[in-house]
Chains A and B, each alone.
Chain A
């Protein structure tokens, strides 16, 4: 007689035959094979079987479930038996997922991020802080849920086993990736952050402060990088307002000095407004001959002042207003950079992942913005530290800043000088044919801009009249383990392309499944991104509307990693080693791009091909592939797969050849791409050499590129540059100390040295 059973956790509880009958009935009902009577009969036989086996001992759960399976089969309920087996397998998986989840949370809670690779998966989150850990625990829970409940089994399997990687999987059911925020549009008439309403800004300082707040607000609505595509154009309006105000104030001061009397400020602002109305020109940094003339007339009419004095006064007022505006702009840009490196998002776990694009605004105000943001970047943070955020992107365009005779050429030169010291800006090239096709002079929204690691959005099959960069972004992306497909093809090209095609189909379906989740969200789920009309056409929706149509302006991207290893697995060499391989490489990515284009046409949605950033992914795929295939030379014998279409980082090649070979892939990867050139410190600091590389990128049709060189810093003496074993400024080795006296001596030479509490 069975009296009790042993549960999974070891507890002994009373045996209850009704519970077994209920479980059997559920299986029968699921496949419509029997009724409660049948269930009771099967349960009776289960009990008989258990009594035969266990006599008076307690059976465990597994033994009971085995008996249920057998008795369902014995009674001829084969479909129900199958359903029951599947149910058991699912429960087992869920239990294992739970155990795994608990282990993961245990690691997040107890292990130092410096030891735990998992906690450094995203270098942007500090896994050692309370909020960083909370974020990682939330992510782990969301991932477990999403895999169990939201993915189709074939997608879950492909993801689990490393055929594909679903990026930002923790946010799978919650939001989209990124957006280019048009700040000009956002600032007009003010906006709400989702927590409070802000009036339209009236000075460059508030423009810059609100730009940082806009990025921060949107970072809470999306999981990817946040970007401003028109930083120079947008901020220029703030500069104009600051100048106009400064002009009115300086005019009053100068006039008061000249006439030795007190004047009403409002009267002078009114005088400026009249001159503007008469001349049709604003008080601006630009050359404004009609306005100047009108001001002189107004001054002579209102005050006892002759023409010569009025002219002299105006000249001085303009100079002083210019200086004041330049100073304010510089401070505003410094504040902006400081804000983006210190302000928190996501409950304090990280600073917003921010990008700003600029370089093409040739107005005097725009130029002042570009100059000062570059100078702020060059100056670094409080102790001279290199700014990590925002990512600066300088837009290069012939006729605007590329040639010596171009109006912003001086700023392009300045950008090279700054990048040679601070690693930013990166460069986008508007003259590359696939970017130039969208470019319309005078319409900044048609200038390609990038966000996050490299994302780019321009084409739009959903609405071909809106092929713009502004107010759009990526919805989601999933990457393919390209080297594995090649390894599995055993050198057979035909097999490889067949495998690739079916993998592309699988990923496209998975992206569409996710789109369904995203499309059913409401405007109220994204109070800033959608509620404030940051996203294209969101301003036409009401709070309770769903997002299906407007989201179609975004992109669904298919990414990849390891073109170099793929070619080596298929043909024995990569594209840095022979021109033939370069052709093969173009053929593979060309195939993937065509798939995306065809899918886009078929569904009227924007499928695009991405050279995946692959920060966490660089090690994930190859670790699994090493377990499967061992260390294959040139394929799986390192700790990482080569990024996107890059020539392997360890392969010796000239900068020129690297750029030449990688450029054609930029044209194919319309969702995003980047190429790097690695320079040693001395070459990088040579501005001519630096500029020659940027020009080489431009001329070969690179879309987005940057130059890497070592930037080290000694926090003790503040030296920024290349530090080998010994700091060139203070002479200490890593971890060594220097006497106070020595520090004082250095401070006399380098006044900007960091100050430490209690020492200086």
Chain B
């Protein structure tokens, strides 16, 4: 991998990769998700481990 370096620094413009499961498989980064699936991912709530929630 080659990245841009300036003044002895590196990483400018490089984002974080965020990997999520889509419909059973993983997708490298969410950039490739369609709009509906992105919205679904945004809306997901975490599930608690309590039995009586």
- A residues touching B (Cβ–Cβ < 8 Å)? 113-114, 117, 120-121, 123-124, 126, 353, 383, 385-386, 388-389, 391, 423-424, 426, 452-454, 613-616, 618-620, 622, 638-640, 643, 649-658, 674, 676-680, 683, 689, 692-693, 706, 708, 710-716, 723, 727, 732, 734-741, 743, 754, 756-759
* Contact yes or no, B49 A759, CB < 8 A: no
Contact size class for B?
35 or more
Chain A residue contacts of B45, Cβ below 8 A: 649-652, 678
- In this complex, what residue of A is CB-closest to B24? A453
Mark contacts of B1-40 with chain A using CB atoms, 8 A cut-off: 1 yes-contact digit, 0 otherwise. 1110110111111111111111111111001111111011
* Contact yes or no, B19 A711, CB < 8 A: yes
Give CA–CA (A654, B46) in the complex, Å.
8
Chain A residue contacts of B44, Cβ below 8 A: 649-650, 678, 708
Chain A residue contacts of B43, Cβ below 8 A: 638, 649-650
B19 to chain A, nearest CB (A): 5
B32 to chain A, nearest CB (A): 4
Contacts known (A732-B11, A756-B2); A655 close to B49, Cβ less than 8 A: yes
* Contact yes or no, A638 B39, CB < 8 A: yes
- In this complex, what residue of B is CB-closest to A452? B24
Give CA–CA (A174, B39) in the complex, Å.
33
* Contact yes or no, A386 B37, CB < 8 A: no
Contacts known (A622-B36, A679-B46, A737-B11); A706 close to B21, Cβ less than 8 A: yes
Give CA–CA (A693, B39) in the complex, Å.
26
Chain B residue contacts of A723, Cβ below 8 A: 16, 18
- In this complex, what residue of A is CB-closest to B3? A756
Contacts known (A650-B43, A715-B14, A740-B8); A453 close to B25, Cβ less than 8 A: yes
Give CA–CA (A424, B36) in the complex, Å.
24
Between A and B, how many residue pairs show CB distances below 8 Å?
188
* Contact yes or no, B34 A619, CB < 8 A: yes
- B residues touching A (Cβ–Cβ < 8 Å)? 1-3, 5-6, 8-28, 31-37, 39-40, 43-53
B43 to chain A, nearest CB (A): 4
Give CA–CA (A679, B20) in the complex, Å.
12
Give CA–CA (A706, B21) in the complex, Å.
9
* Contact yes or no, A618 B37, CB < 8 A: yes
* Contact yes or no, A619 B37, CB < 8 A: yes
Q: What are 15 A-B pairs at a CB distance below 8 A?
A: A120-B33, A388-B19, A388-B25, A389-B25, A391-B25, A452-B24, A613-B23, A658-B47, A692-B49, A710-B20, A712-B19, A734-B16, A736-B12, A740-B9, A756-B3
* Contact yes or no, A385 B17, CB < 8 A: yes
- In this complex, what residue of B is CB-closest to A386? B19
Give CA–CA (A54, B17) in the complex, Å.
67
B33 to chain A, nearest CB (A): 5
The 6 closest A-B pairs by CB, nearest first: A619-B36, A654-B53, A453-B24, A639-B39, A613-B23, A655-B47
Chain B residue contacts of A638, Cβ below 8 A: 39, 43
* Contact yes or no, B9 A739, CB < 8 A: yes
Give CA–CA (A638, B34) in the complex, Å.
14
* Contact yes or no, B35 A426, CB < 8 A: no
Chain A residue contacts of B22, Cβ below 8 A: 123, 615
